Amino acid sequence: MLQSIEPYLRDLRARQQHFDTGQHLFHRGDPVTHMHIVLAGSIHLVRYQSDGSGLILQRAGPGSILAEASLYSGIYHCDAVAFGAADTRVYAKVSLKKLLTRSSEFSDIWAHHLAQELQSTRLRAEILSLRTVAERLDAWMAWNAGSFPQKGEWKLVADQIGVSPEALYREIAKRRQ
């Protein structure tokens, strides 16, 4: 996404920020004053449940716009936490909103991005509605061009498909036999 909008952002004032593992970019209820584009690393949008568990709403990697729907909100509805070291480019919310009103081309690219994010969210909801670990893993693999999760990604994949890491490990072990 970054490549398609980057030419439009060149004239906007921005600053780079670095975040260490576990550092919050913002908290639920904070006012939305800036938008982040992830340059390096990974940032998770997390909504904490009443039992203290966290539901990951977005895994933003390089080129991702973090919490893009927040452009249309006064406050954040979740927390943003660096998952490992991460760098972002930060733009003032007001600057992006002005750009959307000035440039119909940028508005179209932004709408396309939001539509893709909505499709991904619906697919994730569909995966989470499946009953078995096998079905969820099959759907995840179809979503990821048929690729099997790499060993270092298993815990992340387990989180994405809403199963325990142990259940995913067992399913992967079955498939390897």
85-116 residue pLDDT tens: 999 999 999 999 999 999 999 999 999 988 98
Query: In this predicted structure, what is the pLDDT of residue 2?
Result: 55
Tokens of 91: 């733009």
Q: Give the tokens for residue 21.
A: 């593992």
What is the share, in percent, of the chain residues with pLDDT greater than 70? 98
What's at 129, amino acid-wise?
A: S
pLDDT class of 54 with cuts at 50, 70, 90 = confident
| Ranges of H-type helices in 15-164 | 93-102, 104-129, 133-143, 154-161
| Overall pTM > 0.85 | no
Q: What is the pLDDT of residue 49?
A: 86
